[in-house]
Amino acid sequence: MNITLTGDLYVDEPYVSIRWDSLHHHVYTEWKAFANSAELRACLLKGIRAISEHRASAYVSDARKIRVIVHDDQKWIKESWMPLAVGAGLKRIAFVTAPTGLGRLNIDDVAGSFNESGLQSRTFDSMEAARNWVSEGSASG
């Protein structure tokens, strides 16, 4: 299957890629393998740049290959990254997760903390469902 990705590439590492998806009008992150704390944080901050540069209100994170997010990183995402993302204009973030496992539980925890802060967040089993949901928010917001 040949998949063409369009848009600006912000990160392309063995563990993650982040790009502006100009076709679907959202920032798109694909987690490919484990990233240590420094790698995870540095990449997520580059995602803030993508949100700012494109005035993106939507973000889709393909987190199916995430196995674990350590507690300190979950706390950093909630307390540091999320306010930056909201400040840059983000309104909705969708996570595509594996059906089971610790990674899914970690993503569920992170997504729940976003909702507490006013950033709409949901988890999905498919890219199509995640993109449809963030697109609904972009159309109305």
- pLDDT, tens digit, for every residue of 38-76? 999 999 999 999 999 999 999 999 999 988 888 999 999
* Domain assignment present for 54: yes
Report the predicted TM-score, pTM, of the whole model to 2 decimal places: 0.87
pLDDT of residue 7: 63
* Domain assignment present for 104: yes
* Domain assignment present for 2: no
* Domain assignment present for 58: yes
Full residue range of the structural domain in which residue 69 is found: 9-140
Q: Which of 30, 26, 20, 24 is nearest to 93 (CA)?
A: 26
For the chain, what percent of residues have pLDDT higher than 70?
91
pLDDT of residue 139: 54
* Domain assignment present for 4: no
Average pLDDT for 114-128: 86
* Domain assignment present for 46: yes
Mean pLDDT taken over the chain? 88
For the chain, what percent of residues have pLDDT higher than 90?
65
CATH number at residue 93: 3.30.750.24
pLDDT of residue 140: 46
Place of tokens 């502006």: 20
3-state DSSP helix/strand/coil percent for the chain, to nearest 5?
45, 20, 35
* Domain assignment present for 86: yes
Name the pLDDT band for 82 (thresholds 50, 70, 90). very high
Separation of alpha carbons 8 and 125, rounded Å: 25
**Residues in the chain, total:** 141
Average pLDDT for 120-125: 93
Pick the more confident residue, 119 or 94: 94
Q: How many structural domains comprise the chain?
A: 1
* Domain assignment present for 134: yes
